[in-house]
Chains A and B, each alone.
Chain A
Amino acid sequence: MIEPQDTPTDQAAPALPDLDCAPDVVMPEVIYEGDNTIVNIGPSHPSTHGVCRVIVELDGEIVRHAEPVIGHLHRGIEKMAENRTYLQVVPLTDRLDYVGSMYANWAYCRAVERLAGIRVPERAEYIRVIVCELQRIASHMMAIGPAGADTGATSAFMYTFWQRELVVDLFESLCGARLTYNYVRPGGVSFDLPDGWIEKCREFVAQHPAAMLEIDRFLFGNVIFRARTKGIGVLDADDAVSWGASGPVARGSGVDWDLRRDDPYSVYPRFDFSIPVGDNGDVYDRTRVRLWEAIESCRIIGQALDGLAEFEPGTIKADGMPRLLAPRPGDAYDHIESARGSLGVYLVSDGSVRPYRMKVRSPAFCNLALLPLVSEGYTLSDLVVILGSLDPVFGEVDR
């Protein structure tokens, strides 16, 4: 039984402060040492966006530490590449980032081309830019939609997935596959654009920004989504740089760094586009940066389709490509801006027909390493949203 407090009755009760001025009181933080609960999430859990296991130390509902356990999809692609010829490695790179296969194709092919000194025809470079920007749209749709689904708005996933299906249809008519394209090859691309593809692509690019603005209105303007994502999982710019974050995760925190503009490769300097950058570094900004990047990608695709008309159809492969590449001994590194950040491939050649060593610098791996940092102090339900906003693809994290 709690005794009522001994209050002097002859004094008037103090007036309550106005609601406008916040009381100058700091609530003490309650920490129960040694009384935390360990909760295991995964490795097969619908909200981990793949096969990730997260061991969470909870104080009540507050995450004190979240440790990702990765490697459940480690297939040893880097080891397998050492026993394949340079061309046979390309299908393996498809399976790295399976949401955006074209990027891994392209990054690998650029490293091979740098190693072997191959010049790619300009038409092939334009086609590569077009397919990779389409891939960026498809990949971002798989990041924006689940962000809605994680916060309870499953219909946003339906809308974004429809846009993704349109891109996948374009890819299917281009190279026959829906997911693992094997399209970008060392020295060029595998097929030229089929008849009528450019018109279909223009149709898609014409309708996509309006669809994105619709999602911007009904998802990012939604009061529940804003409440669940604003101020959640805040990552400041210094931490983003120090932890090697790249792509929308870094740009959401205000790190204005995009390889397409800052370390320009291929024909990107010829295009006019802007890089959306967030301010707060929270889940909302990271996700919204992706949405605006998808709209900017449409601009790039439109310019690239215009530029494509200058080049003769059919010149899509470098001249004099041997059937078996045997580059000079040495090493080469090249990186591109994938949907998740800077995706690099480091190749070492010993002069034989097989790579001596292939290393994939995976952006999702570096971004996922931020999870303990950004999820600390938020609730368990926020952890799911934060993990989704880092957009890990475990084929690429685990390799």
Chain B
Amino acid sequence: MDITELREHLCGQYPDLCPLFSIEFGDGVLLVTSDRLHAAARDLKDLGFDRLGMVTAVDFGEEFELVYRLQSREMRAGIFVKTRVPRDEPRIDSVNDLWAAANWQEREVYDMFGIVFDGHPDLRRILLTDDWVGYPLRKDYENPTIIRRPDYL
């Protein structure tokens, strides 16, 4: 299966999301709602995306955007799966049962953004100390030890 076939297949699978699916620079982008993320991830894994490259999140104020990058060795293609979760209740299904690589990466996202991954076997802080207060990569994170850099550009 090459990238064009993949695109047709995904458009058939997700007709409501098809306009959002674009292929740019060889990497596809698939936007899904947060409740369909796990199903979409399972579909993509069955299609041959056997590596989970990256899990990360971006703070967009009212919501967090979760970004998963999957890679297929057979198709030599990468695809981004993006979803949004609300800031006041950041929860999402873990994909740890599909790719073991999600284990540490989701722990890191939890550590930095406080997004809870349901079904994760061992969800606790990974980079910061266990008693750390707050989630540093949120845009509204405040810590009295931070010294702001003077704005010289």
Pick the contact of B76 from A85, A263, A359, A361 — CB < 8 Å? A263
**Chain A 333-346, CB within 8 Å of chain B: the 1/0 string?**
10100000010101
B148: nearest chain-A partner, CB-CB: A83
Determine whether the beta carbon of A346 is less than 8 Å from that of B67.
yes
Residues in A166-207 with C-beta less than 8 Å from chain B = none
Q: Among residues 224 to 260 in chain A, which have CB atoms less than 8 Å away from a CB atom of chain B?
A: 239, 241-244, 255, 257
Q: With A and B bound together, what is the CA distance between A74 and B148 in angstroms?
A: 18
- Shortest C-beta distance, A228 to chain B (Å), equals 28
Residue numbers in B under 8 Å from A357 (CB-CB): 58-59, 137
* Interface range for A: 35 or more
- How many angstroms from the CA of A244 to the CA of B98 in the assembled complex? 12
Interchain CB contact under 8 A, B73 and A257: yes
| Residues in B33-75 with C-beta less than 8 Å from chain A | 50-54, 56, 58-59, 67, 69, 73
Q: Is the CB of B69 within 8 A of A369?
A: no
Contacts of B25 in A (CB 8 A): 114
Pair A353/B153 contact, Cβ less than 8 Å? yes
Contact with A along B122-153 (1 / 0, CB 8 A): 00011111000000110001000000110001
Number of interface residues of B (CB under 8 A): 35
Q: Which residues of A contact B125 (CB under 8 A)?
A: 71
Interface members, chain B 74-126 (any A CB < 8 Å): 76, 78, 80, 99-101, 103-105, 108, 112, 125-126
Q: Across the interface, name the chain A residue whose C-beta is closest to B153.
A: A85
Whether B51 contacts A333 by the Cβ 8 Å rule is no
Task: Please determine whether A244 and B128 come into contact, CB atoms closer than 8 angstroms.
Answer: no
Q: Note all chain A residues with C-beta closer than 8 A to B27.
A: 333
Contact of B136 with A361 in the complex, beta carbons under 8 Å: no
Q: For B108, what are the chain A residues with a Cβ–Cβ distance below 8 Å? A: 365
Q: Are B67 and A71 in contact, CB atoms less than 8 angstroms apart?
A: no
**Across-interface contacts of B69 in A (CB, < 8 A):** 333, 344, 346, 361
Quick one: CB contact mask for B22-33 with A, threshold 8 Å, 1 for yes? Answer: 000101000000
Which of B54, B58, B129 has most A Cβ within 10 Å?
A: B54
Q: Are A79 and B137 touching (Cβ within 8 A)?
A: yes
Given A79-B136, A242-B101, A348:B58 Cβ within 8 A: yes
* Contact (Cβ within 8 A) A342 B137: no
Q: A244-B99, A361-B53 are in contact. Are A71 and B127 (CB under 8 A)?
A: yes
Q: Can you list 10 A-B pairs with a CB-CB distance of less than 8 A?
A: A83-B149, A263-B78, A331-B58, A344-B54, A344-B69, A357-B59, A359-B67, A365-B108, A366-B104, A366-B105
B-side residues, CB < 8 A to A, are 25, 27, 50-54, 56, 58-59, 67, 69, 73, 76, 78, 80, 99-101, 103-105, 108, 112, 125-129, 136-137, 141, 148-149, 153
